[in-house]
Structure 1
Amino acid sequence: MTDLTAQPKQRLFDPFEFLARYGTLIALALLIVFNLIFTRNFASMQTVNVNLTQVCTIVIVAVGMTLVIGTGGIDLSVGSLMAISGALAPMIFLGKILPIGNIYLAVAAAMIIAVLIAGIFGLFNGWLIARFRIQPIVATLVLFIAGRGIAQVMTNGNLQTFRVPEFQFIGLGRILGVPVQVILMAIIVIIAAWVLKRTVFGRQIIAIGGNERAAELSGIAVSKVKLIVYGISGLCAGIAGLIVIAINSSSDANLVGLGMELDAIAAVAVGGTLLSGGKATIIGTLLGAMTIQLVRYTLLSNGVPDAAALVVKAGIIVLAVWIQQQGRHA
């Protein structure tokens, strides 16, 4: 006979679930405290600006990557799309393609066209995946390889140097003392977080990543959503590519965006988004990118070689994924 007076069992505290939810924030807080105590000049505005500007491009690319991974996909092409955007923009505002007399119009055209082209390549990734059901890692590997080749062909493998303040404002400019790229990063993060959390499209992303077949049966246009998220990933990569070349005052198709896909995936994983899809957090990605950047800064500031810092970063990624898996199975 069932005891109707029996109380439901209270769920016991699960440390893995707690760490999966709050681990990144705790790690970031501990790193900040450690540096405040042991790292000289850490609290200075110069240090804050250095860390923020170094993490901006990673965060922007990782925002697009978060949406892609939320659907259960992956985008290996983002670094190459940065190279394409970074190669195309100088060709436009330097008058190599479109002879636009007004520098402001030339810069505006360069930015818009370069970012849109990167977005179109992102749509191409989504089309391969949605139309032909090619695995995302294989589909995006196409542009991972060919995209950088396209950028190199566009520039004949030559370094493009320039001094165009009107363009470089996106990477070097400040508004009320705040770097423009930081403002741009914040805008992208806020919009993406709102879309993912508050809109039907955001819920569709999570539904597809959780169970694509069930999402399709419930009436979600899975192919359309995938096209859009890969297109967004391409747009984010295009913007990041412009920032990188603006900071460097040059565009090198061999180097722009090199390894960025790994940094973006790392930020997403450490931030708490499940790499298998079905759960995604933009704010977590932001915190993940900041944590990885601060780990590297902390190690370098305390005399640890950059090569060792890369090993530590890899270990953090493995630990983050393991904690996620343990929390998921709890």
Structure 2
Amino acid sequence: MAEIAAPAPSPTRPKLALDGRAFLSRWGALLALVGLIAFNLAFTPNFATWQTLNVNLTQVCAIVIVGVGMTLVIATGGIDLSVGALMAIAGALAPLIFMGKLFPLPHPMVGVALAFVLPVLAAGALGWFNGWLVTRFRIQPIVATLVLFIAGRGIAQVMTNGNLQVFKAPEFQFIGLGRVFGIPFQAVLMVIVVAAAAWMLRRTLFGRQILAVGGNERAARLAGIPVGAVKRRAYLISGLLAGVAGLIVIARNSAADANLVGLGMELDAIAAVAVGGTLLTGGRATIVGTLVGALIIQLVRYTLLANGVPDAAALIVKAGIIVLAVWLQRQSHR
């Protein structure tokens, strides 16, 4: 009797599975954000109010700004653990400048202007130092940036003798408390940073070089791309944006605490990048995805707290979200 062959598997099934994975990888974060918003609109009291929107906006802006810099670094195949410490350094330096503790000021507004510029430049210089360690000595990025992760907060504490710096400087605090047409100025600044970085990554030679270096560094070298310079610039931008975020945080709090400013920010930024869809191995990045990822991280925390779940549980949920995001990345890459 002739054997009856089993029906061949449908050739469309693997394609459908692949399409589904690609869809989740591309749009999963946005769908999760929409789901979170819908859940809160249905079950969280007073979610659809300006006060709630303001609270979440002011909490997420610093994460997004730091996350943009982290996205560029990760896109090159690196990582930056020092961003929280750089925030602390910028946050410690700014009050020392505009309060005239470092050098005499001819006019208070001069001190405010310098407090906006010098701390950010200092953080950028330290970010470039991270890139120099990575490219000059071929140190693994996680090890190179661990140097300032440890020493950076110590530098900030030495600068302030470990003391809390409380201040009242409306001109300086505008960056954290000011409003433009009723919208928090830090949110406007966040949108500008996201838009500029997204344009740069998609439309400029430097943006394409970042992705080429992260995708295949050896091929990028053979193609004539200055790999070391590209990496140093990415770390420089990460440091600059960390400095800006540090100023926002101390302006919002009307105080600078070197022990707390930027504490844990490196983890939130990496989480936002991962959840947003940027490959942690480099070569592919999405700035808008990082914005969406940061909003998800913030909304998850807000949702749990608003519904009586302890903050410690939010950390566990955040870790689970990161694991899910990385798993989706691997499935899409396959």
Band of TM-score, shorter chain: over 0.9
1:92-103 alignment, distance < 5 Å = 92-103=97-108
Which residue number in structure 1 is paired with residue 234 of structure 2? 229
Among 86, 95, 101, the residue aligned to 1:90:
95
Which residue number in structure 1 is paired with residue 66 of structure 2? 61
- Normalised by the size of structure 2, how large is the TM-score? 0.95
1:188-207 alignment, distance < 5 Å = 188-207=193-212
2-side partners of 1:265 and 1:106: how far apart? 34
2-side partners of 1:167 and 1:160: how far apart? 14
Among 9, 12, 15, the residue aligned to 1:12:
15
Corresponding position: 1:49 with 2:54: yes
SS where residue 259 of structure 2 aligns? coil
2-side partners of 1:302 and 1:256: how far apart? 27
Unmatched tracts of structure 1, length 5 or more: 1-8
Q: Cα offset for 1:105?
A: 1.6
Q: Cα offset for 1:199?
A: 0.9
SS where residue 125 of structure 2 aligns? helix
Deviations 1:229-261 (A, max 9, x none): 000000000000000100111111111101000
2-side partners of 1:259 and 1:309: how far apart? 14
Following superposition, which runs of at least 4 residues in structure 1 exceed 4 angstroms of deviation?
none
Corresponding position: 1:254 with 2:266: no
Q: Cα offset for 1:91?
A: 0.3
Corresponding position: 1:175 with 2:188: no
1:275-294 alignment, distance < 5 Å = 275-294=280-299
Q: Cα offset for 1:176?
A: 0.6
Among 139, 160, 163, the residue aligned to 2:165:
160
Which residue number in structure 2 is paired with residue 217 of structure 1? 222
Which residue number in structure 2 is paired with residue 3 of structure 1? none
Number of residue pairs aligned between Structure 1 and Structure 2: 321
Coordinate RMSD, CA, aligned: 1.0
Corresponding position: 1:112 with 2:114: no
Deviations 1:119-159 (A, max 9, x none): 00000000011111111000000000011111111111111
Deviations 1:53-105 (A, max 9, x none): 10000000000000000000000000000000000000000000121132222
Q: Cα offset for 1:17?
A: 1.8
Corresponding position: 1:208 with 2:198: no
Code of the residue aligned with 1:211 in structure 2: it is N
Corresponding position: 1:186 with 2:191: yes
Deviations 1:187-220 (A, max 9, x none): 0000000000111111110111110000010010
Which residue number in structure 1 is paired with residue 140 of structure 2? 135
SS where residue 12 of structure 1 aligns? helix
Code of the residue aligned with 1:41 in structure 2: it is N
- Normalised by the size of structure 1, how large is the TM-score? 0.96
Unmatched tracts of structure 2, length 5 or more: 1-10
SS where residue 319 of structure 2 aligns? helix
Deviations 1:269-307 (A, max 9, x none): 000000000110000000000011111111111111111
* 1:103–1:166 contact (8 Å) kept in structure 2: no
